[in-house]
Amino acid sequence: GDSVTQTEGQVALSEEDFLTIHCNYSASGYPALFWYVQYPGEGPQFLFRASRDKEKGSSRGFEATYDKGTTSFHLRKASVQESDSAVYYCALGDNAGAKLTFGGGTRLTVRP
Amino acid sequence: NAGVIQTPRHKVTGKGQEATLWCEPISGHSAVFWYRQTIVQGLEFLTYFRNQAPIDDSGMPKERFSAQMPNQSHSTLKIQSTQPQDSAVYLCASSWTTNTEVFFGKGTRLTVV
């Protein structure tokens, strides 16, 4: 079945550091890939998506590029802020574009 | 737009009791989803409806769990004979249709004691 693996369970950075969260997927076909962010007491919020090889998704300074060759969709941000502290989830959509399969999540803590 | 509304936000039930969770999707959205979130299992898909019809319930436990969508403005998730392992945050979500941005509610935290 489909699966998503996020390598880092927790990441701790200082403000203005560069962020990378690694995401690799396993799925048949050509799934859409997503990043979601979750703040305490809230449901996950859509950040962005990409649907085809080499497509870059971006939002709020975060970006990721769909790489079918390495089955990856790594999240990056050049300069993090304390307000970026949250849990980030990589996800893939099924062929119908409905059901989402989430990775285990990465808790990002940014120190001021 | 108040977003996806879930009630109650917190629910405590005794083992063996029934729990009903409510969801009001965003007006006009045709796809409604239920997910479960736990520390151990993370975010898991349970079921989804499109235009009120059940489409995929592949994530629903076969016993004790059921979901309905009697009209376009609300959906319910019912758990019969609740067990401690059912304790989780249950998230409802909706989208205009499939393949579009999914909006999640704040969730209902269910605790079975």
Helix/strand/coil (H, E, C) string of A34-58? Answer: EEEEECCCCCCEEEEEECCCCCEEE
Decide if A96 and B42 are in contact by the 8 Å CB cutoff. no
Sequence length of chain A is 112
B9-22 per-position pLDDT tens digit: 999 999 999 999 99
Residue B99 clears pLDDT 80, i.e. is over it: no
Decide if A104 and B42 are in contact by the 8 Å CB cutoff. yes
**Which of A99, A100, A106, A107 has the most B C-beta neighbours within 10 Å, making it the best mutation to test the interface with B?**
A99
Residues A100 and A47: beta-carbon distance below 8 Å: no
**Minimal-distance CA residue of chain B relative to A100:** B45
Tell me the chain B residues in contact with residue A97 when contact means C-beta distances shorter than 8 Å. Answer: 98-100
Interface of chain B against chain A, CB under 8 Å?
A: 4, 31, 33, 35, 42-45, 48, 50, 55-56, 58-59, 91, 93, 98-107
Residue A41 contacts B where some CB pair is shorter than 8 Å: yes
Residue A94 clears pLDDT 90, i.e. is over it: no
**Among partner residues B44, B48, B105, which is closest to A43 by beta-carbon distance?**
B105
Please give the pLDDT value at position A98. 81
Sequence length of chain B is 113
- CA-angle at A95, arms to B107 and A87, nearest 5°: 35
Please give the pLDDT value at position B26. 97
Residue A87 exposure: Cα atoms within 13 Å on the Cβ side: 19
Q: Which residues contact A71 (CB under 8 A, 6 or more apart)?
A: A24, A25, A26
> What residues pair up with A6 in beta bridges, in sequence order?
A23
**Minimal-distance CA residue of chain A relative to B36:** A43
**Nearest-CA distance B30 → chain A (Å):** 12
Q: Which residues contact B57 (CB under 8 A, 6 or more apart)?
A: B46, B47, B67
Residue A30 clears pLDDT 90, i.e. is over it: no
Q: Which of A94, A103, A98 is nearest to A44 (CA)?
A: A103
**Which of B32, B43, B48 has the most A C-beta neighbours within 10 Å, making it the best mutation to test the interface with A?**
B43
Residues B94 and B102: beta-carbon distance below 8 Å: yes
**Rounded to an integer, what distance in angstroms lies between the CA atom of residue A89 and that of residue A108?**
11
B36-88 per-position pLDDT tens digit: 999 999 999 999 999 999 999 999 998 999 999 999 999 999 999 999 999 99
Q: Which of A60, A67, A76 is nearest to A31 (CA)?
A: A67
Please give the pLDDT value at position B100. 83
Q: Which of B5, B38, B42 is nearest to B22 (CA)?
A: B5
